[in-house]
Structure 1
Amino acid sequence: MFLTLYLLRLVIGAFSIWHLHTVKGSSAHSFPRRETLTGSSFVRRSLHGSFVIGNTLYIDGGEENLVLNGVQTGQQILNYTLAIDLSSSFYTFPNDNSINVKVIEKGDCPNFNSIRFWVDSRNNIVYAYGGELSFLAPWSPWENTVVPLESLWTFTPNTTGGTWKSIDQYDSVWDKLTRPAFGLTASGAPGGFNLGGYSDSHTSQKTNIPGFVPVPGLQFFNFTSQKWSNSSASDYYATGTAVDGGMVYVPTWGSAGLVVILGGQTATPQVGLPGGERLVPLSNISIYDPDAQTWYYQLATGDVPDERDRFCVAGVRGGDNSTFEIFLYSGRQGSNQQAHARNDDMYILSLPAFVWFQVEYNPTDPRVLHTCHVVGNRQLLSVGGLNPSLPNTSVMWNDTDPYAGGLKVFDMTTLNWTNYYNASAAPYVPSDPVMTYYESKSRYPPEWNNPELGKLFIAPTSNNTNTANSSPTSTTSTTTVGNSHYARHSNIGPIAGGIVGGIGLVLAIFGVWRFCRPKPKEDGGPEAEITPVVSRIYLQGEVQELEESSPLPPYEVGPGLPHELDEVGILEMGSGFDAGGIHELDAGPRSSKE
């Protein structure tokens, strides 16, 4: 036994040295504190984007309300990037100033609401995609005030904070893209994904109308080849549209990982047809395989959440790739304020069982238009957001956030909200309800809606070991679990067995080191292409199919201007057109000028 302990100490010491020399992306510097942006000076933040890279949370875009020199600034555009150091612990009590924040100037980089980010953790770079010019920005068509042209901006962190840079694009697909807002985005090892969104006069010069036009299609940017694709998403929804939902990249299954889509709205891409938007039931889980460019659908069971949009999602791996938990927090359901108040809730979707679990706690702080990330091993960090249970937008923006900087911390293992971010938190272990389920029931759904999807989950897990990132989600992999269920306890064997086990552990760690040491970069995954498949429509929790022999009728945006998919499946928003009757999606809080 003493020999075993000695061997374990040697292994742990060696692993610690290896870890210090091989872990990349961590932030070793400390940020100077900017207390005017947290503590008692902070009122509200929303319509922003955020991402985590290394040990830093970055907040960019959107709008905020602060108290400076004892006076509220009112709703204003966030025209800089905030960097919050996650290598140090901090409290989130309302008047606490322990959060270490740095302000990064953006130079010529434009400011957008609903900005989305794709994190390329391999190359330590972040791409900004989509967004809508704030309605607080000076705007006058008579003074030729225009939205910035489509451009791809990147952010690279460094010891002084980071830099923004525009990258020229020489890609025919990119040239035809229209900047979307409120799309569903995620990123991982292959690249960045965006599903749907809408366009209007504040998102792109190509859309000269004040109403909201849903943008169909799935855009993909390959991190390795730097190439774009824009493929049909008609197998997600008949019209290929999606707004205000959630998307998570899951690296655990599939040769290039999988993309999971949750909730939100779908809509007709036609202008002038009211009542076209539909909330997607959260029992309907859509999965996209980027390697095969194939869509799947799976029915989820358990404590299925009510239909909603404008929530946030974040995912975390449960150890040796046996499970993956997606956490869904808050959101908006219709226009019922009482329902909004109840939507201060947390749900967990566990894969591969496709089972929902509801976290039990008293609802007091519902949120919409917020973002969230997995940070510090086992903590979900919610960033900003408005309280949808309040009577109007003005009240929402002037309601003081009960958490410093709008940062809320949730322990994903104990399932508790806390006023403390622990930079040294223990590794993630799935919560008791999730562990109990897998110990007593099947790992998989009672029935696969598509046997081919079942093959992806039952087959050996993906070799993709990169941390999965989705905008605004990041994931982590820390906990080891059993092949068939989670082991809650470890057994102590005889002395002889312990010695053999210790030696075996040394060899195992060496094998892991050989496997995990830096390798040459590989191709980031295939580009998406249009593949004819059966279309599904999600209406009232049912799945209806449109056969390929029954195509949708052509639709028009504006008088006499049909939108058609070109040879690469791109939906173009024409420029300079007017629309007769404009169908607007309910966008909710956007600015005080509405």
Structure 2
Amino acid sequence: MNLAGVAGLFLVKAAVVWALSDVPTNENFIARAQVTATVLGNFVYIDGGRVWQIDPDPVLNGFIFAMNSTISIDLTKTWTSRSVALRTIPKPPEIASRCKGHVWTDTGSNGSFYSWGGYWGVAARERVDETPRLYKFTADGNGGGNWSIVPSEEISPFGVLDTLHPAEAGAFATTSDGVGFVIGGKATPWTEKSRQRLEINGTRAHQMVPGMLSFDIKTKTFHNTSSSPALSGETNEHNAIISAVAHYVPGYGKNGVIVLLGGVASPVDKDVDAKFSEPIGFRNLTFFDPVTKESFWQMTSGEEPESPRTFFCAVGFDAGDGRYDILFFGGQNEERDLYYADAWVLSLPGFVWTRLENIPDEWAPGGRGMHSCVRVGKRQVLIIGGLFKSDRDPVPQGLLLFDHMSGGYGLRYEPNDEPYQSPSNVKAFYEKG
């Protein structure tokens, strides 16, 4: 079974969905993809997405279904991908699991995160309201927690949820001041239930979502703007961004900055299709101030990563001496139907691209896309799930670790390593002045 070829399949019968496991054994695990992930305190939380697994029923064997639980992983202990304890936190029926969604993380107290957008499976869509809902997960500090729907009367301005268009595959980030952003994305009848009527009436129901949505976690206030941050120095309000990555860089300027990486831009008045899309390259990058919303652009140096590139993941590390490194991994080229296995670091303030070690074929046959990643421990990156050109993920439970300071990719998490340092070739760039 080629995972990329069955990416759109879902089990329809809810009874079957609940019979399978969100955390299959290593022997039964095939793959997981399209998850979101965040770190709260000493735990990684993995939410949404889909999981493939072997099932004793020969009819169902190899099928996929939406994740109905949130998974947590303890970061205080050493573990390997083969032996890691994956704790499942069930969701109540009113909290519908979604894929390619967006997470806004609040690190205060024990921590919480908000889930917005993403697309549902068949069974989930039948039980959600037409009015969009904002979901909240509140952690308990011990690897558990609970889900709730944020009451609409607590959200400002009054009635704003009825005016919003939840999407999938937007670029999302959260600032250190607790403001979450989603830029662009794609709205469909599977992200916004009211669009079912458009589909039934023969009206175009799939549409790029222009602009930028922000949510202030402290005040529970949404703010929606009709235009996205201007790309590469040219403002085009008719373009919307999809499948890009947004990353918040603290400490740059008064408010920090958010950088947009990769993705494609398409006219909002066209059906979503690669032929209408323009790749967003990695040479001239768009940054914006999360408070003033002012955009600016910066040319980069070094070898430029290939584009178009969508559905990759990125994390950031404070590299000391006023420097900050953004590491990113893999991704897809949907025009050419291929996955990337390369990895890169963008170092600020030098704005220089440097290649990292490619993901080895043994861990990513033909590349990897639609994965997520988070920073764990003092210097490691946890790459979670993904799709690829083989029949099964060779990485146990889809949990691959990267540490350029201790040999690259592997399956062992170590919480007590020395702090992160930039790769030697990045250090050399700054030493040259």
Q: Same fold (TM over 0.5)?
A: yes
**Deviation by residue 1:377-398 (Cα, 9 ceiling, x = unmatched):** 10011000000xx3xxxxx5xx
Give me the whole-angstrom Cα distance separating, in 1, the residues matched to 2:241 and 2:117: 14
Q: Distance in 2 between matches of 1:111 and 1:35?
A: 12
Q: Tell me how far apart the structure 2 counterparts of residues 129 and 420 of structure 1 sit (CA, whole Å).
A: 32
* CA-CA distance at 1:328 after TM superposition: 1.2
- Give 2:383's aligned residue: 382
Residue 358 of structure 1 aligns with which residue?
355
Identity within the alignment, %: 27
Q: 1:89 to 1:273 in 2, by over 3 A?
A: closer
Q: Does 1:171 align with 2:156?
A: yes
The correspondence for 1:227, drawn from 221, 227, 234, is: 221
Aligned residue in 2 for 1:47: 34
What is the correspondence of 1:128-147 to structure 2 with a 5 Å cutoff? 128-134=115-121, 136-137=122-123
Q: Is the counterpart of residue 205 in structure 1 residue 190 in structure 2?
A: no
Q: How much does 1:412 deviate?
A: 3.7
Q: 1:36 to 1:347 in 2, by over 3 A?
A: closer
Q: Which runs of 5+ in 2 are unaligned?
A: 1-20, 200-204
Counterparts of 2:171 and 2:228 in 1: how far apart (Å)? 12
Deviation larger for 217-226 or 191-200? 217-226
The answer to whether residue 345 in structure 2 is matched with residue 348 in structure 1 is yes
Q: Distance in 2 between matches of 1:138 and 1:289?
A: 36
2:427 corresponds to: 435
Give, in whole Å, the separation in 2 of the partners of 1:146 and 1:271: 27
**1:362/1:157 CA distance change after superposition, 3 Å:** closer
In the TM superposition, residue 46 of structure 1 has moved relative to its aligned partner by 0.8
The normalised TM-score by structure 1 is 0.61
**Structure 2: distance between partners of 1:100 and 1:146:** 31
- 8 Å Cα contact 1:116/1:130 also seen in 2: yes
Distance 1:138 1:318, change over 3 A: closer
1:101 aligned residue (75, 86, 94): 86
8 Å contact 1:300–1:354 — kept in the other structure?
yes
- Give the TM-score of the pair, scaled to structure 2: 0.83
Bigger RCO (CA 8 Å, 6+ sep): 1
Write the distance in 2 (CA, Å) between the matches of 1:381 and 1:336.
27
Give 1:259's aligned residue. 258
Which residue does 1:548 correspond to in 2?
A: none
Which sits farther off after the overlay, 60-69 or 80-89? 60-69
1:81 to 70, 73, 92: 70
Match of 1:317 in 2: 318
Match of 2:394 in 1: 402
Judge conservation of contact 1:376–1:422 (CA < 8 Å) in 2: yes
More helix by share: 1
* Structure 2 counterpart of 1:177, one-letter code: L
- Partners of 2:37 and 2:246 in 1: how far apart? 15
| Contact persistence 2:49–2:100 (CA under 8 A) | yes
1:142-541 alignment runs, 5 A limit: 149-158=131-140, 159=142, 161-169=144-152, 170-172=155-157, 173-190=160-177, 191-208=179-196, 209=198, 211-231=205-225, 232-233=227-228, 235-236=230-231, 238=236, 239-271=238-270, 275-307=275-307, 308-320=309-321, 322-337=322-337, 340=339, 343-361=340-358, 363-364=360-361, 365=364, 366-387=367-388, 390=389, 399-414=391-406, 416-441=408-433
SS in 2 for 1:137: helix
Find the structure with the greater CA-based Rg: 1
Cα pair 1:412 1:428 within 8 Å, conserved: no
1:277 Cα offset (Å): 1.0
Matched letter for residue 122 of structure 1 = G
> How many equivalent pairs are there?
386
Q: What runs of 5+ residues in structure 1 fail to find an aligned partner?
A: 1-33, 391-395, 442-594
Indicate how the Cα distance of structure 1 residues 413 and 212 shifts in structure 2: closer, same or farther if over 3 A, else same. Answer: farther
Q: Summarize the Cα distance change of 1:36–1:249 in structure 2 as closer, same or farther, 3 Å threshold.
A: closer
1:44-80 alpha-carbon deviations (Å, 9 max, x no partner):
1012222111121111111111235597452112111
Of Structure 1 and Structure 2, which has the larger fraction of its residues in strand? 2
CA change 1:121–1:272 in 2 (3 A) is: closer
Offset from partner CA, 1:233-287 (integer Å, 9 cap, x none): 2623512511111110111212221101001011100035973211101112110
Q: Distance in 1 between matches of 2:219 and 2:48?
A: 28
Give the structure 1 partner of residue 6 of structure 2: none
